[in-house]
Amino acid sequence: MSATRTPPRAARRERLVGRLATLGPGLGYLTVFMLVPLALVLGYTLFHRGRFGGIVYEASADNYTRVADGLYLGVIWTSVKIAGITTLLALLLGYPTAYLIAQLPRAWRTVALVLVVLPFWTNFLIRTYAWIILLNSEGIINRALTGLGIIQRPLELLYTQGAVVGGLLYAYLPLMVLPLYSAIERLDPQLREASANLGARPARTFWSVTLPLTLPGALTGCVFVFVPSLGNFVIPELLGGGRTVMVGNLIRDQFLKARDWPFGSTLALIVIALLVLLLMAQAWAARRLTDGTDRA
Amino acid sequence: MRRSNWLYVPAGLTYLFLYLPIAVLVVMSFNAADTPYRLDGFGTAWYGKLFADRAVREGLVNTLIVAAGATALSTVLGTLLAVGLARYTRSKLLDAIAVAPAVLPDIVLAIGLLAFYTAVQFTLGRHSILLAHAVFGTAFVAAVVRTRLAHVDGSLEEASRDLGATPLSTFARITLPSLAPGIIAGALLAFSLSIDEFVIAFFTTGPDNPTLPIVIYSMVRFGVTPEINALATLLLAVSFTFVLIAQRLSRLTESI
């Protein structure tokens, strides 16, 4: 071992140099370009906008009382609701899909997985644009339905909350399928066999063996879908047509239109707080789940 | 294992949901008529229009410049960071800082960087987007390289040191080559994330030189034009080829 060959003090110095050389540049960079910007956002929440824009550095909690205003709370609630519905739909579609993929023969499994991820590797704006084409009053869905005589006049599909949910689901569904797949694939088939051998019906086996064991993967998928949905402002704008306002739209407008950076920062801080709560809940749930299965 | 056949219904729905919009986009891009909705004969007129569009061309060049620079920067920073986190510290806090850019909602990082650039009176342009993209790039490279590090045998490095190699030459000759697949994968990830990134670029861009996603955004906002269908089809083709090549490469490295 090197410790026996080199004197301890030289070894210690060597370690310090190694630590500085490897950790220094990256952490320095993240400090300047992430931690300092985040600290600025945090600091701005205490100040307020000057009459002609800019920031007046007089500390107060005004921004926080303003958020408590019904209008803004309503927008935050709408955002949480839309992101929540999107996550739930992603779980309902993603779970059976991941479950099926895990049961396919190995060669087909890769193909099926790649097919789930492929749309994800195309530009996010273009994926959203595709839905404008589909949902428009002259779009393919409306023309198919009128053509079949199911409806008389085109339905208003675009610029609705449903369109926003659909767009978000389309954008982030792969993020649900992947962690679910890896959780289901890792499952020991013997556990299910044992359950069946002990007389459990398939449904019983699913509810008491498969589902609890794959819940951590489902939770990860839910976080992956919920987080980018909550702060999104592009999809509500393009598919919601300005009628569905989410908290991301508010933040964007405070920064780029109203030039009220302190209030925009406060809204961003609330988004972060919600996400931290969510991550804590997820970690807690995942720990409880795995604890339980370890002991069993 | 017994396969449940009814699973094909929701799974089929998933694939239909994923591919119907893409199929419509691609078909409509070959539309001869100038409406994005009604198909009237086939033609490639929209591709001609697209190639003649200067904003799109310049956007593409800007995107590639930003992505190349951000990837170079984040590959160096991320690789070093991964080695440092794995070998020189056990701090949970440093771990958290290193993954934070990957977890943070993009809009939060975007407004933070805009506030920061404004506070230090930094000019905005391609360079400010590049530096911003290197933030999440570093996090992703570090994460990918770390998973590779977990599989690398540390005894080779120990042997190299015991045989009298300096730490630097051990790093260059043993550590780096054994990490190469992870570094390449991380760099590719950082590159493709940067090419696709819109929100942070939108907040940190200057008055000139928008990246391609910003150009697309203003096109879509301005109105629906079949030119976007053509662009979408081309981008789809590029990323599909990219994924196929990556898939082949990974199968190749697995078989070696």
pLDDT tens column, A75-94 = 999 999 999 999 999 999 99
Torsion of CA A238, B135, A42, A266, to 10 degrees: 10
Same domain, B201 and B251: no
Please indicate, yes or no, if residue B218 is contained in any of the structural domains. Answer: no
Shortest Cα distance from A296 to chain B (angstroms)? 24
Same domain, B256 and B138: no
Give burial (CB, 10 Å; 0-12/13-18/19+) of B221.
Answer: exposed
Residues 6+ positions from B84 with CB-CB distance below 8 Å:
A18, A19, A21, A22, A23, A24, A26
Q: Interior CA angle at B207 toward B202 and B209, to 5°?
A: 75
- Choosing among A1, A29, A44, A113, which should be mutated to test the B contact, i.e. which has the most B CBs within 10 A? A29
Please indicate, yes or no, if residue B18 is contained in any of the structural domains. Answer: no
- Choosing among B4, B14, B95, which should be mutated to test the A contact, i.e. which has the most A CBs within 10 A? B14
The domain spanning residue B182 has which CATH number? 1.10.3720.10
Cβ–Cβ under 8 Å, residues B193 and B140: yes
Whether ipTM exceeds 0.95: no
Q: Print the domain residue range for B109.
A: 62-210
Q: What DSSP line would sit under B130-156, residue for residue?
A: HHHHHHHHHHHHHHHHHHHHHHS-THH
A124-135 vs B226-255: helix axis angle to the nearest 10? Answer: 130
| Nearest residue to B81 (alpha-carbon basis) of A131, A278, A82, A22 | A22
| Nearest residue to B76 (alpha-carbon basis) of B19, B149, B23, B137 | B137
pLDDT in tens, chain B (256 residues): 455 677 888 888 889 999 988 888 888 888 777 666 666 777 777 888 888 888 889 999 999 999 999 999 999 999 999 999 988 888 889 988 998 998 888 999 999 999 999 999 999 999 999 999 999 999 999 998 988 888 777 788 888 888 888 888 888 888 888 888 889 888 988 998 898 899 999 999 998 899 999 999 998 888 767 788 888 888 888 877 877 777 776 666 555 4
Segment 219-248 of chain B within 8 Å of chain A by CB: 220-221, 224, 228-229, 231-232, 235-236, 239-240, 242-243, 247
Q: In whole angstroms, how far apart are CA A31 and each of A45, B100, B135?
A: 20, 11, 10
Same domain, B137 and B243: no
Same domain, B142 and B230: no
Please indicate, yes or no, if residue A5 is contained in any of the structural domains. Answer: no
| Nearest residue to B170 (alpha-carbon basis) of B181, B182, B159 | B159
Please indicate, yes or no, if residue A17 is contained in any of the structural domains. Answer: no
pLDDT in tens, chain A (296 residues): 444 555 678 878 888 888 898 899 999 999 999 999 999 999 998 888 877 777 888 888 888 888 887 788 999 999 999 999 999 999 999 999 999 998 888 888 888 888 888 888 778 888 888 888 888 877 778 777 887 878 877 777 788 889 999 999 999 999 999 999 988 888 877 887 888 888 888 888 888 888 888 888 899 899 999 999 998 999 999 998 878 889 999 999 999 888 889 999 999 999 999 988 988 888 888 788 776 554 44
Please indicate, yes or no, if residue B203 is contained in any of the structural domains. Answer: yes
The domain spanning residue A176 has which CATH number? 1.10.3720.10
Is B64 an 8 Å CB contact of chain A? no
Torsion of CA B56, B227, B53, A241, to 10 degrees: -60
Q: Print the domain residue range for A147.
A: 26-295
Same domain, B230 and B119: no
Please indicate, yes or no, if residue B20 is contained in any of the structural domains. Answer: no
Same domain, B121 and B151: yes
- Choosing among A125, A277, A282, which should be mutated to test the B contact, i.e. which has the most B CBs within 10 A? A125
Please indicate, yes or no, if residue A41 is contained in any of the structural domains. Answer: yes
Question: Which residues of chain B have a CB within 8 Å of the CB of A170?
Answer: 17-18, 21
Same domain, B164 and B232: no
What phi, psi does A56 have (nearest 5°)?
A: -100, 120
Please indicate, yes or no, if residue B26 is contained in any of the structural domains. Answer: no
Same domain, B86 and B144: yes
CB-CB under 8 Å, A110 with B247: yes
How far apart, in whole angstroms, are the C-alpha atoms of residue A242 and residue A30? 35
Same domain, B180 and B106: yes
Per the structure, the count of domains in chain A is 1
Segment 33-92 of chain A within 8 Å of chain B by CB: 33-38, 40-41, 44, 92
Question: Which residue spans within chain A are E strands per DSSP?
Answer: 48-49, 55-56
